[in-house]
Structure formats: structure tokens, C-alpha cells
């Protein structure tokens, strides 16, 4: 599996380009910004983007989605519980002092029991409300890898003080869904360094008490 992680935009959201070496099909996860750089990675690996997957509708994760859809023709996938947040991208842009990316449309809602694909590579969608109502994590079982969005970070968890956030819900999502994954699972958070479920089970102050 090809997996390139590119921190994009002023908040350095980890955008993932995931490609299948055999079919050269790809998915891009969280194209928040810097779409030219994302497309350069896609071209360097001779990939064709088939899906644009968004872990949640915060501007730093979704801001470049329409530009990427226009460039690739790939549909945008996001959990429908984040539609309200998606409609307030102008407000979100004002929070962090950046230009509004304009309107973002979703093509399909994804939730638990759905899978996303890049050729033969598949990931299970895990609905993990808490950071936002529609937050999802993506678990690649064959690779034992989790794209965690802003639900879990190395040594921390996602903030729950923004509209739609709930500390109670994020803790339930973490304990019942995320931490149910095997210790060896590599975790790629929405921001900052890569970690593992085992490392977080041991050392994350929000989880190990
Ligand atoms: Zn977020």
C-alpha cells in the first residue's frame, strides 16, 4: 500500500494519499488545503483518485475537497451528521482567520458498516462521534492502520468545546470503538505524529487512568 502523509494548511492537518500499487487506484483523506501539493503526490505515484474521504467537517480537513473533486472527478464522502458543520464553513474560516473555501457538497454519507476503497485496499468506517457528531475513523484491517481524524492524537484526544462536540461521546467512542483495536495498530492522527493503539493505551493521560 502506498501511503503518503502531507501536513496541509495553516493548522497542518495530516492529509493522507493512499494508493493500491497494483491497480494504481487511490483515495485521498482530509484534503484540507494545498491541493497542488496533494495532486503532485498523486501524479508522482501515477495514481487515479477514486474517493475523497473526510473524517469530519472542520475546515482544516475539508477545505480543499471541492478543488480536489474538480481536479479528479472523485466523489466526496463524509458522515451526514456533520452536514450542519459543513454549512458553516464561512464561520469556521473566520475562527481561524482564513479565506472561506466556498460551499462544499457531499456525494455520499459514510458511517459504520460502510467501507471505503482504493483498488483492492479497503478500510472500515468507524463512526466516532465526540469531536464532532459526524466524526469517523478509518481502519485498514489488512495493514492494521487507523486514520483517526481528530478523535485520537499522540498523547491527547480531540477537543470537544466546539459546536457539536461532546466529551462524554468522544470518551465512549474511544473506549468502545477505537481502543477495541489491536495494540499493534498504527494510528495516523489528524494532526501531529503517528502513534499506535498500544502506545496510547499505555501512555495517553486521557485513556490510561
Ligand atoms: Zn477537527
Mean pLDDT of the chain: 96
* Best CA proximity match to 133, nearest among 158, 176, 163, 172: 163
pTM, whole model, 2 decimals? 0.97
Q: 133: CA distance to ligand 1 center in Å?
A: 11
Q: 92: CA distance to ligand 1 center in Å?
A: 11
Contacts of 55 (CB under 8 A, 6+ apart): 29, 30, 61, 135, 136, 137, 138, 147, 148, 149, 150, 151, 190
pLDDT in tens, 107-126: 999 999 999 999 999 999 99
Q: 40: CA distance to ligand 1 center in Å?
A: 25
Q: What is the DSSP string of 82-130?
A: GHHHHTTHHHHHHHHT---------SB---TT-EEEETTEEEEEEE-TT
pLDDT in tens, 137-160: 999 999 999 999 999 999 999 999
Q: 58: CA distance to ligand 1 center in Å?
A: 5
Q: 2: CA distance to ligand 1 center in Å?
A: 25
CA 147 to chain centre: 6
Q: 21: CA distance to ligand 1 center in Å?
A: 30
Q: 131: CA distance to ligand 1 center in Å?
A: 7
Q: 188: CA distance to ligand 1 center in Å?
A: 14
User: What is the rounded distance in angstroms from the CA atom of residue 82 to the CA atom of residue 20?
Assistant: 29
User: What is the rounded distance in angstroms from the CA atom of residue 109 to the CA atom of residue 22?
Assistant: 28
pLDDT of residue 99: 87
CA 80 to chain centre: 15
Question: Which range has the worst mean pLDDT, 79-83, 94-98, 101-105, 121-125?
Answer: 94-98
Q: How many residues does the chain have?
A: 209
Q: 23: CA distance to ligand 1 center in Å?
A: 32
Type and span of the H or E element at 201: helix 197-203
Q: 202: CA distance to ligand 1 center in Å?
A: 24
Amino acid at each position: 500500500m502506498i501511503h503518503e502523509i502531507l501536513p496541509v494548511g495553516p493548522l497542518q492537518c495530516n492529509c493522507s494519499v493512499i494508493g493500491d500499487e497494483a491497480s494504481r487506484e487511490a483515495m485521498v483523506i482530509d484534503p484540507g488545503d494545498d491541493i497542488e501539493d496533494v495532486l503532485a503526490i498523486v501524479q508522482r505515484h501515477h495514481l487515479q483518485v477514486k474517493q475523497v474521504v473526510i473524517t469530519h467537517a472542520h475546515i482544516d480537513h475539508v477545505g480543499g475537497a471541492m478543488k480536489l473533486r474538480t481536479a479528479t472527478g472523485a466523489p466526496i464522502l463524509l458522515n451526514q451528521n456533520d452536514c450542519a458543520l459543513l454549512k458553516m464553513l464561512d464561520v469556521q474560516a473566520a475562527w481561524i482567520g482564513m479565506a472561506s473555501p466556498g460551499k462544499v457538497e457531499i456525494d455520499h454519507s459514510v458511517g459504520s458498516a460502510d467501507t471505503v476503497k482504493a483498488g483492492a485496499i479497503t478500510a472500515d468506517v468507524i463512526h466516532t462521534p465526540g469531536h464532532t457528531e459526524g466524526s469517523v475513523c478509518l481502519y485498514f484491517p489488512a495493514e492494521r492502520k487507523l486514520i483517526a481524524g481528530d478523535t485520537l492524537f499522540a498523547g491527547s484526544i480531540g477537543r470537544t468545546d466546539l459546536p457539536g462536540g461532546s466529551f462524554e461521546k468522544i470518551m465512549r467512542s474511544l473506549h468502545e470503538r477505537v481502543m477495541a483495536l489491536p495494540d499493534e495498530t498504527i494510528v495516523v492522527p489528524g494532526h501531529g505524529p503517528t502513534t499506535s493503539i498500544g502506545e496510547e493505551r499505555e501512555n495517553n493521560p486521557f485513556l490510561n487512568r
